[in-house]
Amino acid sequence: MGLVSVLTQVAIVIVSACLVASIAFIGPARLLELRKEAIPRLLDAKHLIAVLLVVLVTNGLIRDATQNLSWVFGWNITPLIRQIEGGVVIYIQSLATPLLTAYFSYIYVFGYGFLLIFPFLAYLSLSDQTHFRSLVLAYTLNYGLGLICYLIFIAYGPRNSFGPGLVESLLFDTYPQFQFLTRSVNVPTNVFPSLHTSLSATVALLAFHTRREYPIWLWISIVLAVSVFISTMYLGIHWLLDVIAGIVLAVVSVEGARRYVKTGSFIGRSSTADEPAEARS
């Protein structure tokens, strides 16, 4: 199974999940409104969307170059991470079962993709577009700050650091077809922080701020995000410290995005004090 086949499979699953979630969480009324308002709302956020696209394209174009550049002036923190956290990932993998491996593998690939895509539909469907703009900007900050971290910090994941026998590459050993997908977007030295973690945490944090509009989605996003956190370690891809750093990156990105959308400044005071109580989330 090649890259195109894997991408097709992933796309079908994620699109199907988004359709079901749209009916269950967004609802027919908002979806009907979205049919008329989608283009104007996207145009209102066109500058933020353009910046996100530029960051994503730049990230993809210079991925290999940044790896080479980081070896020039970056800091290889892999030995330090191993010294600090020891065998956390080894212990997590000692609990492995075929059922858990299947669950966390599909969460890492399909659950993560759904978690990233569905909020675009959910927040674009709201009349209050501050949530959609916050989402776009928070993603941009995650990728932008993550790229800077990858330039500064060189870190190999547990499966590349410990090697077979101590930490297994459970995802690729069990589902080798997913190697085509992950190798096209990942570099072995770019694990600190975990972007899987930071983006999943970002979605959960933003879901908290829209809990009145989408109460059930809050709990779904939390379950999926925590599952992604664990999957990155269970599969031997990330360290615990990568996950912690990813959560910190998410908090910084969400807070910065929400402040900027509300005040036009990343360090400006929050405007919630000036909002009507019913408008606060």
pLDDT at 281 (0 to 100): 44
Global pTM? 0.90
pLDDT at 74 (0 to 100): 81
pLDDT at 139 (0 to 100): 98
- Comparing C-alpha atoms, which of 50, 58, 47, 26 is closest to residue 127? 26
> Count of alpha carbons within 13 Å of 124, Cβ hemisphere only?
23
Q: Tell me if residue 75 falls in helix, strand or coil.
A: strand
Residue 180: pLDDT above 70? no
pLDDT tier at 184, thresholds 50, 70, 90: low
Q: Tell me if residue 194 falls in helix, strand or coil.
A: coil
Q: What is the pLDDT of residues 199-253, one digit of tens each?
A: 999 999 999 999 999 999 999 999 999 999 999 999 999 999 999 999 999 999 9
What is the chain's mean pLDDT, rounded? 89
